Amino acid sequence: MTDEFPASSKQRSPVPAIQPTGVRHWMILLATLVAVLLYLDRVCISTAGETVSADLKITKPQLDEVLSAFFWTYALGQLPAGWLGDRFGARWMLGSYVLLWSLSTGLLGIAWSLNTVLLLRLACGLFEAGAYPLAASIVGRWVPIKSRGLASSLVAVGGRLGGALAPILTIQLMLMWTWGSGWWTLPGDAVADLFSWRPVMGLYGIVGILIGLIFILWFRDWPHLHPAVNAAELSLIRGNASVTPVARRGAEPPPVLAMMCSFPMWMNCFVQFSANLCWGFLVTKFPQYLKDVFATTQQDQGWLQSLPLAAGILGLFLGGVFTDVLTRTFGLRWGRSIAMSVSRLLVVIALMSVSWANSALTATICLAVVGLATDLGTPAVWAFGQDVGGRFVGSAVGWANMWGNFGVALSPPFFGWIAGASATGESWNQAFVACAIVNLIAAVAALGVNASKPLVPESHDGHVA
């Protein structure tokens, strides 16, 4: 299977059309839709956690295991998924991943024990691992380099949109299936019954399978393979590149040694780890924090949990423009680095301010700033992998994302351990301070990120130099 621009007569005529087609925008929209589903299926279980615990009779530490399990396989699956995407293309690989993680989510509806839920969440994490590395390769193949920061932020916005919708949508759907609690009345003290989370998981699974099929039918791995792309759009995507990439020689392994020996890559990995350690709290332990400290209802938890994730959408839009402007002004070396460092410093300030919150809404606003600041640096992190990855974009993004998601996997036990079983307001504040210290270190580490040096230098013919 040839997954790069061919150097044969099949290549399109270089004569440009008057107006470029806009297929690239549809491809980014597809990637964004996949990201919406990605986070919808990721966050829904934490939102329903209280009901799931009661239904399956599991304890808080066991629920932490469920919330953490997803991210361990998600992290470990990043590099293999990125390599498979580089080797076989996003169309069939990402399409298959969507179908499989949707099936895993849907089957939660018939889970009968803690072990069953753990197994399905491990499977869901493994299959979702392919989403962002392959989405990064989609941006790298379909978007001109000058617009990759913004395009990356748009795809990431899809994830945050799904994350913001998941708490509200999950709770309201659970109430809809609860006898006597019509979702349209939005009763303030409504409590979902023990069965209500199951049909919601089944519904999410069905929707995901439909999205996976749409992706396979419409997406193509390269612009020149899509029948709706004209020569003008193809020229626009390629930019000023004078070299036409050739077919890849065999199944090249991911450049693990190059990534392990790259100081900028390790600094980027640590930035992602610190960002996800804090962000993981928002998608896993935040509802428990609201209940323990402010005694909020489950319905209120759904609305409040969505706010920091929604704030992340604004952060992503601003972050895409932020890193692109910095890159045009200071070059790749500092354009990516400064964006990452500034975002970490803002997270530190926001985390330290949570201790002064005297209400659930005030604390949520402070944590919304955390969500916004975290995602202010996300486009730069993504663009770094595209900048240095070359033909190994999926592998480069997958490697860094793997280390980043170790941070999310550690987040539930990290916050649970510091907050303790009693989980008082003071103990939660201690957890926020500890997380702020990690992010302060990451702000310094970000200054060592250098996107101007490729991981694997290539010669003029597109092969390893």
Rounded to whole angstroms, what are the CA distances from 186 to 56, 176, 299, 300? Answer: 26, 10, 9, 10
Distance CA 80, CA 130 (A): 8
Residue type at 90? Answer: A
Which segments within 290-444 are labelled E, that is strand? Answer: none
Q: Is 441 exposed, middle or buried (0-12, 13-18, 19+ CB in 10 A)?
A: middle
Q: What is the mean pLDDT of the chain?
A: 83
Give me the residue spans of the domains in the chain.
Answer: 23-239+254-448
Which segments within 111-174 are labelled E, that is strand? Answer: none
- The answer, yes or no, to whether residue 201 has pLDDT greater than 90, is yes
Q: 458 forms bridges with which residues in the sheet?
A: 464
Cβ neighbours around 311 below 10 Å, total: 24
Residue 422 pLDDT grade (very low, low, confident, very high; cuts 50, 70, 90): low
Residue type at 364? Answer: T
Q: Which CATH class is domain 23-239+254-448?
A: mainly alpha
pLDDT top residue among 272 and 405: 272
From the list 342, 355, 343, 344, the residue with the least C-alpha distance to 432 is 355
Three-state SS at 464: strand
* Region class of 93: left (phi > 0), else alpha (psi between -120 and 50), else beta: alpha
Average pLDDT over residues 9-34: 74
Sign of the alpha-carbon torsion through 95, 97, 102, 107: positive
Distance CA 68, CA 64 (A): 6
Distance CA 283, CA 280 (A): 5
Q: What tens digit of pLDDT does each residue of 40-76 get?
A: 998 888 888 888 888 888 887 888 888 888 988 988 8
- The answer, yes or no, to whether residue 165 has pLDDT greater than 70, is yes
Judged by average pLDDT, the poorest of 14-28, 194-208, 308-322, 422-436 is 14-28
Contact 163, 43 (CB under 8 A): yes
The reported pLDDT for the residue numbered 2 is 41
Distance CA 99, CA 124 (A): 10
Residue type at 177? Answer: W
Three-state SS at 458: strand
- The answer, yes or no, to whether residue 5 has pLDDT greater than 60, is no
Contact 299, 188 (CB under 8 A): yes
Judged by average pLDDT, the poorest of 170-179, 234-243, 434-443 is 234-243
Average pLDDT over residues 359-373: 94
Average pLDDT over residues 254-279: 90
The reported pLDDT for the residue numbered 458 is 63
Average pLDDT over residues 340-365: 93
HSE-CB at 156 with a 13 A cutoff on CA atoms is: 31
